[in-house]
Amino acid sequence: MERRHLEYFLAVVDHGGFSAAASALLVAQPSLSHSIKVLERELGAELFHRLPRGVRVTAAGEALVDSARRALREMEVGRACVQEVVGLTAGRLDLVSLPTLALDPLAEVIGRFRRAHPQVQVRLMQSELGDDVREAVRSGAAELGVADTMSRPFVELQSDYIGNQELVVTLPPGTPEPKTGTMSIDELLTLDLVTGFTGTLVRDLLTKEAERRGVELSVAVEVGHRESALHLVVAGAGCAVLPRPLARVAALEGAVLVSVDPALKREIHLVRRPGVLSPAARIFLDMLTPQTDI
């Protein structure tokens, strides 16, 4: 089973068809199709249902996806380790994080990493849910992930605590600040909120606090991306509970930031698969940890 065959297979899976995969890989479609057929013969199973428009992964193909990603990841780690031994400086570091954590703390660490190792390419993927971040690491799509508190166990992963991030109430421009300078949970729950869908950390946290007090959460706007909440608050659509690094951006547009008493914080964790990391990942991990509270 050749690396090229696995790369072509995953490209078809990720792009949903042979033509799109060939275009993304900059290879001729007949060559890609031939490689997939060779792989299918070797495995003794069809990996795709060929449809009039695109393809659909078969059950056998689904069974191969995670193994293929992990195999390619291990090959990349092995190649990088050899390069390190012979003094070569190249390669790629694949990261995945929640969008707000890409802003802080990752942006600053990636900047330092790139200044120290300009020859290493960094690829940063983003997912809105922490479980999706962890799944990307588990499947081998990324080597390191940065996410918040784990909502379900991922026994195949190692998790390292790297700090806390304060969550602050972000109010539309012109809103009077509380006389005390802070806001209680009870006061927060009276506001019209711009928040994520059920399953996101802040939405679930607020829902739990509302249920504990026997009140109904007032959701004015549901958003799929935290950055959208920032713009909606500035536009006056409602209030939001945002990580302080993102809330600071809203403050530049006039939003009013208020801390919650007692403080709301989320834990930040770095997740990775057990075992040997690539040289680039080891260096990046050393730069990222330990972090002080964000």
pLDDT of residue 294: 54
pLDDT of residue 253: 92
- Per-residue pLDDT for 87 more than 60? no
**Mean pLDDT score, 193-218:** 90
Least confident of 50-54, 160-164, 168-172, 199-203: 50-54
- Per-residue pLDDT for 246 more than 50? yes
**Mean pLDDT score, 66-90:** 72
**Phi, psi at 105, each rounded to 5°:** -100, 0
Least confident of 7-21, 43-57, 98-112, 147-161: 147-161
pLDDT of residue 198: 87
**Phi, psi at 167, each rounded to 5°:** -105, 130
Q: Which structural domains are found in the chain, ordered by start?
A: 1-88 (1.10.10.10), 164-266 (3.40.190.10)
pLDDT of residue 84: 62
**Mean pLDDT score, 35-59:** 88
pLDDT in tens, 230-241: 899 999 999 999
Structure tokens given for 17: 């068809």
**Three-point CA angle 162, 170, 237, nearest 5°:** 130
Using DSSP, how many helices (H) and how many strands (E) does the chain show? 12, 12
Structure tokens given for 69: 């990603």
- Kindly report whether the peptide bond that precedes residue 105 is cis, defined as omega within 30 degrees of 0: yes
- Kindly report whether the peptide bond that precedes residue 30 is cis, defined as omega within 30 degrees of 0: no
Confidence band of 275 (pLDDT split at 50, 70, 90): confident
Distance, CA of 30 to CA of 75 (rounded, Å) = 26
Structure tokens given for 2: 């050749």
Determine contact, residues 160/169, Cβ cutoff 8 Å. no
Of 87, 130, 93, the closest CA to residue 109 belongs to: 93
Question: What is the pTM for the complete model shown?
Answer: 0.65
Q: What is the mean pLDDT of the chain?
A: 87
Distance, CA of 82 to CA of 96 (rounded, Å) = 25
